[in-house]
Structure 1
């Protein structure tokens, strides 16, 4: 049951962000529209990666053997893509940031709350990537927890950034 709730929350977040970005934050600039599209794509990729934690959580907590087996096979396949997804999403989000620094920042100011939250989100993302790299090189309980913690903080900051009005 909890995994169905998590799938619903993810789906609602994607749909809500789509509606928010395209209907409540429209722009005339083609570059800003591209930046919005890049942000949407990166968000989906980041959600795919962060959901790996919840898949592992369901594997640990579930008492149904078939669910554990199915999710273990799925997670084994997905972990092969985890780093590639993270690098792709980071590249996409850097494109989003560059466009917004070029188009939006001169208009609203480089110290606007929307941009400051973006700076913070990218900083935490870089910390998460560094923690993931260290975990990939040599896994330990501390490195696993640190990577997980920074990833969760990143998602929180990125959600705050997404919904701060310009």
Structure 2
């Protein structure tokens, strides 16, 4: 808990911060509270914020989400992209096998259960007659990716209206 979604003045998600930092920004007049937790209060009787918006627009450089095993499984919703199974142990499959020039990129790796990965082997999905359920793509941004993870895990449902694709 204790996490606060920070929106730019234009209502674009900027960051996820602690409630302490959010309260300090509000007290300094740099941000306003848009959503709050009715169950948690500060000593003064003020509800803790869960979404704040900056009063001044801030330009932020784009950061790409790193390709990690955890991020890949999250992108694919912990589901085999060949058979749709969520029960079996998952592994990482290269759509174009590495031995045939395929690289470690968001567009070339996908989640597969062990049996599908072995069955596909050193072939492309087309050669193995195993079509992918979703075309692998790079996630939009690391912030929206993390925010969607928080929303789908049951935390911070109120963030959904501020995060595209949540």
Length-normalised TM-score, structure 2: 0.20
Q: Which has the higher contact order (CA 8 A, sep 6+)?
A: 1
By percentage of residues, which structure has more strand?
Answer: 2
Length-normalised TM-score, structure 1: 0.20
